[in-house]
Amino acid sequence: MTLPSPCHSIVILTGAGISAESGLQTFRDVGGIWSQVRLEDVATPQAWDRDRARVTAFYNARRQQLMDPAIQPNTAHLALAELQRRWAGDLLLVTQNVDDLHERAGSIAFHMHGRLDQVRCVACGADSPWIGEVTPQSRCPACDATAGLRPSVVWFGEIPHGLERIDRALSECDLFIAIGTSGTVYPAAGFSAAARNHGAYTIEVNLEATGRFDRRLVGPATETVPTLVAELLA
């Protein structure tokens, strides 16, 4: 394995592919979420304004799926948690995923596209943890209003969380690793180029090549990520 030397600071970006082998669908693979539902109908602020019931039902179903005992972190999530525990330098784990599988594996992950297990009150704007269904009668845990609880996720046209912090980490990292993301959604799709422009070495871990990287590990994340982590910790 070619790695930068010295390698002190790492940024890891994960996408839906890391959770695929845990049983969660990706968005753009064959049979993925966007082949079953139009993103314009469920993942934009306009969709929410048009038809709250439909958007709420879509996210209720995904939240319920996440609670299914069969959905568990896989060896890729677990390997990253071990890396985060044992890496002596800086490591920022950024995920585009709204699932909580990194946390369940023991990682601290930064959710740039929000979280399925949180809702945001349209009255007071507070984000609150949420388990189970959202209904029109659901009360905001923070202000008690029944004005509406939207999923606390980042839809198309909305600004992802923490971009300043991520940009800073990208400008300082020696190594950038993208795992299980198609590289189609910006700004995350631009992170590898940003890191490379600052001199970082870039690695892609995916079933297929998606863009320009210095090195590729092609294969299922449950096999490739533990191998990569073992080499980083060796």
- From the CB of 80, what's the least distance to ligand BJW, in Å? 13
Nearer to ligand BJW, 98 or 200 (CB): 98
What are the backbone angles phi and psi of residue 102, rounded to the nearest 5°?
A: -65, -45
Q: Of residues 9, 84, 96, 118, which one binds ligand BJW by CB under 6 A?
A: 96
Six-digit token string for 209: 């090549």
Give the number of C-alpha atoms closer than 13 A to the C-alpha of residue 110, restricted to the C-beta side. Answer: 17
Q: Which sign, positive or negative, has the C-alpha torsion 210, 216, 218, 220?
A: negative
Stretch that binds ligand BJW, among 10-18, 133-141, 168-176, 195-203 (CB under 6 A): 10-18
Dist CA 168 CA 187 (whole Å) = 14
Task: Using alpha carbons, select from 4, 22, 16 the residue that is nearest to residue 206.
Answer: 16
Give the interface segment with ligand BJW, choosing from 3-11, 128-136, 141-149, 201-209 (CB under 6 A). 201-209
- CB–CB of 15/180 below 8 Å? yes
In the region spanning residues 32 to 91, those forming contacts with ligand BJW, defined by CB under 6 A, are: 32, 43
Stretch 174-193 residues interacting with ligand BJW (CB under 6 A): 180-182, 184-187
The least distance separating ligand BJW from the CB of residue 85, rounded to whole angstroms, comes to: 22
Determine if residue 148 is left, alpha or beta; phi over 0 gives left, psi from -120 to 50 gives alpha, anything else beta: left
- DSSP, collapsed to helix, strand or coil, labels residue 221 as helix
Name the strand (E) or helix (H) holding 201: strand 201-206
* Residue 161 a catalytic site member: no
Task: List Cβ neighbours of 75 (8 Å cut-off, separation of 6 or more).
Answer: 222, 223, 225, 226
Least separation in angstroms between residue 62's CB and ligand BJW is 7
**Binding status of residue 106 toward ligand BJW by CB under 6 A:** no
Catalytic residue among 77, 102, 113, 198, which? Answer: 113
Nearer to ligand BJW, 75 or 138 (CB): 75
Contact 135, 107 (CB under 8 A): no
- 157 near ligand BJW, rule: CB under 6 A: yes
Applying CB under 6 A, which part among 46-54, 78-86, 120-128, 159-167 lies near ligand BJW? 159-167
Q: Is 194 in the site for ligand BJW (CB under 6 A)?
A: no
Q: Known catalytic residues?
A: 113
What is the contact surface with ligand BJW in residues (CB under 6 A)?
15-17, 20-21, 26-29, 32, 43, 96, 98, 113, 153-160, 163, 180-182, 184-187, 206-208, 210, 220-221
